[in-house]
Amino acid sequence: MPLPCPAIYLLPFLPPPLFLTAAALVLTLDAAFVEDLDDSFKDNRKDDIWLVDFYAPWCGHCKKLEPVWNEVGIEIRSSGSPVKVGKMDATSYSSIASEYGVRGYPTIKLLKGDLAYNYRGPRTKDDIIEFANRVAGPLIRPLPSQQMFEHVHKRHRVLFLYVGGESPLKEKYIEVASELIVYTYFFSASEEVLPEYVTLPELPAVAVFKDGTYFVYDEYEDGDLSSWINRERFQGYLNVDGFTLYELGDTGKLVAIAIIDDKNSSAEHTRLKSVIQEVAKDYRDHFHRNFQFGHMDGNDYINSLLMDDLTIPTVVVLNTSNQQYFLPDKRIESTEDLVQFINNILDGTVEAQGGDGFLQRIKRIIYDAKSTVMSVFKSSPLLGCFLFGLPLGVISIMCYGICTVDSFGGVEENETSKKETGDRELTDEGSEEEQEQENKEKSAELSDGEHGQKHIFDKKKD
């Protein structure tokens, strides 16, 4: 494929003014493959197929997606695809965004006819383009020959195939394909197209080809066709990450994961990974309806998910529907140990931890807040000190001021009370002096009275 803009390789050799001009020209050329959409988009869209990025100017994830989105526009345009690539500021045209069910940023949708298909995979160029090509094409792709079947089989790790003519099963198959085309491809073929090693119990039939073999849908054992396809659209063993766990939540399966370090080549890590792989392959008939198997590199994501600190290597079984998880009470040393652990989960003898109850939600809020603070300080200590130190400083000053005012008020009250007490004491002392003076006067009066009485008595005596 020709390079979209060979001038990019000449940029380092240009003088600074020309370098800036050429760089701006390259960005302009890249953006030219992505159309800016406005409120006239809905009326002018007609029957075109559009891959649209609904973004917000302030969104960090949207800014990170922008160069990838320009690459998507370049490659889709150069490949001759009928899909048109655009972007819309969902904050400026919120009514249109709401009409298409946009609730977060960025949101990627493929608009085809009256349908809007959400993209929920990794935000990489190849994954987005593969999604656009799959959804933009026919729901059911016919395979006219065995050579075509072999070619498609090699390209796709998971392949759903309808075999037979018109039937109610085919109608149901088309209905399911219109819903799940965002995840996987759907094909149809006649019985003559199939290789000799494929034998079907009856026609019509739906089969899935994966993991080096195939499995036929049985309505009585597998239940609803949509649920069966949703469960079987993954390989039996996966390299699990956050996106995969999110999608596995729709299957209703428990996810048995070996938490290991891919860079660690010790026997303990490789053995546990091999144990999970063997159980996924050899015990498929026993566990595939209830369990999905895989491994995860590192324990950072799983620790944040479980709000726990798991020591690797270890095994954890997740229930993505209610956020519960199961841990073995002893080390998994062999396939027999893992099979016994899984059987104990099925019969209810292993206690479930976590969940989505009220206390767990409170714990999640505290854990997320703590993780946010720690991540801010870890990535930028100065920013962390400013964000959290400044409010704490202001609060401390306010508390100090309040406490200081109360203290001064208490001191003034004490001084006032002391002063009043002193005044009362002085008043009381004054009263005592007056009383003493009165007592002296009374004593003098009494003495004069006594002298008068004595004088009268003397006269009588004479």
Active site residues: 59, 62
Dist CA 129 CA 177 (whole Å)? 19
- Cβ count within 10 A of residue 387: 13
- Interatomic CA distance for residues 197 and 207, integer angstroms: 13
Q: β-pairing, 49-55 with 107-112?
A: antiparallel
Alpha-carbon span 368 to 50, nearest angstrom: 37
What are the DSSP E strand ranges found in 281-426?
291-297, 314-319, 324-326, 353-354
Question: CB-based contacts of 176: which residues, under 8 Å, 6+ apart?
Answer: 186, 225, 226, 229
Tell me which residue of 180, 207, 211, 183 sits closest to 293, measured CA to CA. 211
Burial class of residue 57 in the structure, from the number of CB atoms within 10 Å of its CB (0-12 exposed, 13-18 middle, 19+ buried): exposed
Q: Is 342 helix (H, G, I), strand (E, B) or coil?
A: helix
Tokens encoding 399: 């508390």
Between CA 8 and CA 15, with CA 12 as vertex, the angle to 5 degrees is 115
Residue type, 91: T
Cβ 158 vs Cβ 235: under 8 Å:
yes
* Cα angle 324, 285, 280; round to 5: 60
Position of tokens 């349908």? Answer: 115
- Residue 18: CB atoms within 10 A of its CB come to 12
Nearby residues of 237 by Cβ (< 8 Å), 6 or more positions away: 211, 276, 277, 280, 281, 293, 294
Q: Is 224 helix (H, G, I), strand (E, B) or coil?
A: coil
